Chain A
Amino acid sequence: MAKKEQEAVFTPVGINTSNNSKVEKSVDLPEPTKKTHKQLGLSDDEVLEMFEQMYLQRRFEERAMQMYQKGKFGGFLHLYIGQEAVSTGTVFALNDDDDIITAYRDHGWGLVRGVTPKEGMAELFGKAAGCSKGKGGSMHFANVEQHFWGGYGIVGGHIPIGAGLAFANKYQDNGRISTCFFGDGAVDQGALHETLNMSQLWKLPCVFIVENNGYSMGTATRRHTVGEIHERAKGYGMKSAVFNGMDALTVYENMKNIAKEVREDKMPWFVEIRTYRYRGHSMSDPQKYRSKEELEEYQKTDPIERMKSYILDKKIAKKADIEEIENKVEDEVLEAVEFADETPFPEPEALYEDMFAGEPHFHDKK
């Protein structure tokens, strides 16, 4: 028998690769900003608000996970835990009427853009009082009144929609900019290429932001895409940036500058924010594609712990004040859980509601 030749390999191999027992990081975090909050124009109170918001997102999801495991609700649950500095830093940097649209890892974005913990938790539970009346669930949080256009479930599907929001802003000359967030997995979709090309060509006031959390579902970034993600902007002659997403002040500083520039020159940006997702892609993910050591390495850079240390170092508040915030958030989240559990499910009539803005029509409805 002929000697067996080496088999062809297509996708770069990830499982069981030995790296001399060193932790192989799926994303390299750029250095955070050295500027203080004062230098960035943030007040002490604003820093405390940012901390509170990040802590709310974290505790909301940790409780949601418990409720999911207790069987309180079904469907998907994609947790944002680890990425809270991105949503928080961004929303503090934008104007309140700037538009935000994101993918299905959307709870944090909802909470920071006015979805109350009660409305959010009720949505997860599928209740009528949910932010999307229980019709969307985990993947479709939204608060359109506050310009959060929602979470979307088709990877890359909302990228052209984000550009469309910007198109309408330019058409109406209303001074708003649009920001479109998606994961590193979405950079492999053709929708991104079409949208970046048209956005640059049409000068759309839009920021496209990859939250590179290291994994496209269970596939590490280096195994699903080539090169450095942010460098793709070069192909379109688009302005780009890459920065640390584990530090809310870094996100704030960069997004503030980018938003200002987009508002002035109406040109789009392509931004890669490097962050890390602590939990699985969804609740059913056993996470066999990464080591415990890798996870622990990133948890050392936790955005909430980092902000807490910053607050204490800069003497913005005392330990007791932080605990007070934490307790307040904890109560708020527990109340939200209680509310979600008790508030009613939608009435049967709701099945046919919210399909049409105009005259409703249903084929063969008896």
Chain B
Amino acid sequence: MAELQFREALLEAIDEEMGRDESVFIMGEEVAEYNGAYKVTEGLLDKYGFKRVIDTPISELGFAGIGVGAAMNGLRPIVEFMTFNFAVLAADQIINHASKVRYMLGGQASCPIVFRGPNASAGQLGATHSVAYDSMYAHFPGLSVIYPSEPDDAKGLLKSAIRNDDAVIFMESEQMYGLKGEVSEEDDYLIPIGKGKIKREGSDVTVVATGKMYHIVKQAAAEMAKDGVEMEIIDPRTIKPLDIDLIVESVKKTNRCVIVDEAHPFGGLASEVGFLIQREAFDYLDAPVRRVTLPDVNAPFSKPLFDLWLPDAKQVVEAVNAVTYRT
């Protein structure tokens, strides 16, 4: 195992895949000469040149669409968005084209493309730079949605995403690029898309969280352990396909569940997982499933309001106390 920053793990994945397949290229704002807004693409221009590491104008719709066309015509583009908040401008290409073109042409074309970049909030960035879009993309048939929490997951899943023959949304976090973690040094390290991971074993309550929320849950778990409550943390890693079997299996053991989701409450990962648990493990539940999400309010700028808005370890502890009837 090697200790890598999240960004270094992503870079290794991209570098290895570009090295093994000439059809892989990366484009996005500031990815080449600037070496990446968050330094994920650092050094790639020197290594692979201007043909395969391409700076784009601030034209999300345009370059996402060029990516889709290039993917249909034999290439494997990695399209970097500086944030998924900007990808909203490219939604027509992702939702109406990348996810649908194969089906509507009766299987005549395919679209092996990765759209990647940071998702969700990253401090006081205001309402338009703070949205978690994973559940929104997971709504659409044809897309895979990955939102890893640790460098090891990031490397193995990004490599799989680049090799995937269909469109993949790969989400990161500005606040996690510097996060360090042990990364497998296995040759050609691939993690299958759609497989979750038990990140902490415990017998008292199942807590589901991915991406940045995993780290908040981890803090809460350390706190609760002092009180003798053992949380089992499940990181689905991919929102879609969702490893619901792993979650259900854990709930059958702990009989209680909390889902922590950095999205607004309506129709997100939390509500979907909650629904599936009540259907698949109804007789195993000792308490109603709880969720911790953002409120149905836009991201505020002001620090005290922002802290109130974002889910934190305290809210997770409260939810765990509620489902274990400790309050």
Binding site for B on A (CB under 8 A): 99, 101, 130-136, 140, 142-145, 149-150, 152, 154, 157-169, 171-172, 190-191, 194-195, 197-198, 201-202, 353-358, 361-364
Contact = CB atoms under 8 A, between A and B. Distances in A.
A78 to B, nearest CB: 15
A135 B108 CA distance: 11
A172 to B, nearest CB: 6
Contacts, number: 158
A190 B65 CA distance: 12
Contacts of A142: 105-106, 108-109
Contacts of B101: 150
B164 A163 contact: no
A161 B65 contact: yes
A104 B32 CA distance: 36
Question: 10 closest Cβ contacts across the A-B interface?
Answer: A164-B69, A160-B65, A194-B62, A133-B106, A358-B165, A357-B110, A354-B107, A168-B73, A132-B106, A161-B69
B62 to A, nearest CB: 3
Nearest to A356: B166
B65 A159 contact: yes
A167 B72 CA distance: 11
Interface in B131-150: 138, 141-142, 144
Contacts of A136: 104-106
Contacts of A154: 92, 96-97
Given A163-B66, A165-B69, A197-B59, A364 B108 contact: no
A160 B103 contact: no
A361 B194 contact: yes
Contacts of A149: 72, 109
Contacts of B65: 157, 159-161, 163-164, 191, 194-195
Contact of B61 (A132, A194, A202, A356): A194
Contacts of A135: 103-106
A195 B101 CA distance: 19
Interface in B260-315: 276
B61 A160 contact: yes
Nearest to A169: B73
Nearest to B139: A363
B66 A357 contact: no
Contacts of B97: 152, 154, 157-158, 161
A150 B93 contact: no
Nearest to B64: A160
Contacts of A163: 62, 65-66, 69
A6 to B, nearest CB: 38
Given A171-B70, A198-B62, A357 B102 contact: yes
Contacts of B106: 130-136, 142, 354
A189 to B, nearest CB: 9
14 contacts: A130-B106, A135-B104, A136-B104, A142-B108, A150-B105, A150-B109, A157-B97, A161-B68, A164-B65, A164-B70, A165-B72, A167-B73, A191-B62, A363-B241
Nearest to A196: B62
Nearest to B144: A361
A160 B165 contact: no
A195 B69 CA distance: 12
A99 B142 contact: no
Interface in B76-119: 92-93, 96-97, 101-112
Nearest to A354: B107
A325 B106 CA distance: 32
B105 A162 contact: no
B56 interface: yes
A165 B103 contact: no
B152 to A, nearest CB: 22
B67 interface: yes
